[in-house]
Structure 1
């Protein structure tokens, strides 16, 4: 039992280390405009300061959700285009992963970039965020086994937008490294390619599978 608890405590320490390292790397390449380094208490790894997340689940317009999160600095990282990133993990008394929330809230208003695009067009880093036809949509990865329901609420899932019943099953929980790599590849790919040598983090996933057989039979994301 001591060895098992030690293993999970090591995982918790690794998760915290990854978040700190990711934040530092994004600062170094100027992709992070503002940031809050994580805090750790009673098994939870959360955002320093105000970390009440209830607002993100309320039935209010997305622009209001974003504005409140931004105003309260309720994020780990604020990207150069205004997108907000949250990374929070909770572990139980035995040190086992109990829950997490990994969220990406793009800025609903890119007028500053679009109206002054000549400033940013000189640097290819901004190529992915200047198009006027971009439709912003929040993305959230959750691990929430306590509310598990087969084919309705997967233990590990992806939610696109604020759709109440959008829960795309994942085969397993994911690490901060895998989440940030997903965000960079899909929304900041030009910058990711430019800073390949500076953005270096291991993508090996340390969590075991949690997907149900019936969920495996439908469209899902395999991250193992």
Structure 2
């Protein structure tokens, strides 16, 4: 079972490996904090005031994305402007919450200004097609607000839909989440430039119920 210290170390190592690969162009290393009730949080370093709820407000996605950038509310900023967040909370050494989110850039201004550069660079091959529709995704784990079938303990939200909670078999480690994002959305540069990213073993237990398994769900690696 992963500990707060182990998750902190894993995110730090993955951040360094993504920087070395060239896919990450800006970053905030993770920080560990202890709050009320002894809850240990692994979140984004820095002293800036951040409003993570901005992505849930009824405003255009481009505006909420701009706020995330201005507040530096990301662990990783990818080469195309995509933002990655990885946050965990533990209580009594037990995982109680995680927020693992990917916010693709709503537009590629540099691509619009210099399309020839991007179209000849395979680093961008997966992200500059004109038929791509940007859609944020978020893997949440929430032990305290679990309601079977209505609010699965571990779930995937696509596109900020309020009631989109696709059951997931269990919480994701930083490596599994980042590996999913890279393979799904940065496949070409991932295969060519990310060979130095070390595979980590999955260390969280399954949390999905038998009833939830009867519905469409996502089977993640589980211990």
> What is the TM-score when the length of structure 1 is the normalising length?
0.91
Which structure 2 residue ranges, 5 or more long, are not aligned?
35-39
Structure 1 partner of 2:43: 46
Q: CA RMSD in A?
A: 1.3
Report if aligned partners of 2:139, 2:155 keep a CA contact under 8 Å in 1.
yes
- 1:122 matched to 2:114? The reply is no
Q: Distance in 2 between matches of 1:17 and 1:121?
A: 36
- 1:210 matched to 2:207? The reply is yes
1:172 to 170, 174, 193: 170
Structure 2 partner of 1:153: 151
Structure 2 partner of 1:5: none
Count of equivalent residues: 214
Aligned-pair distance for 1:196?
3.9
2:10 to 18, 28, 32: 18
Structure 2 partner of 1:194: 192
- 1:106 matched to 2:99? The reply is no
Report if aligned partners of 2:21, 2:194 keep a CA contact under 8 Å in 1.
no
- 3-state SS of paired residue (1:181): helix
> What is the TM-score when the length of structure 2 is the normalising length?
0.92
Report if aligned partners of 1:192, 1:199 keep a CA contact under 8 Å in 2.
no
Q: Distance in 2 between matches of 1:134 and 1:31?
A: 19
Structure 2 partner of 1:68: 67
Report if aligned partners of 1:158, 1:166 keep a CA contact under 8 Å in 2.
yes
* Residues 70 and 113 (structure 1), Cα distance of their counterparts in 2 relative to 1, 3 Å cut: same
Aligned-pair distance for 1:162?
0.8
- 3-state SS of paired residue (1:129): coil
Structure 2 partner of 1:4: none
Aligned-pair distance for 1:115?
3.8
Aligned-pair distance for 1:128?
0.4
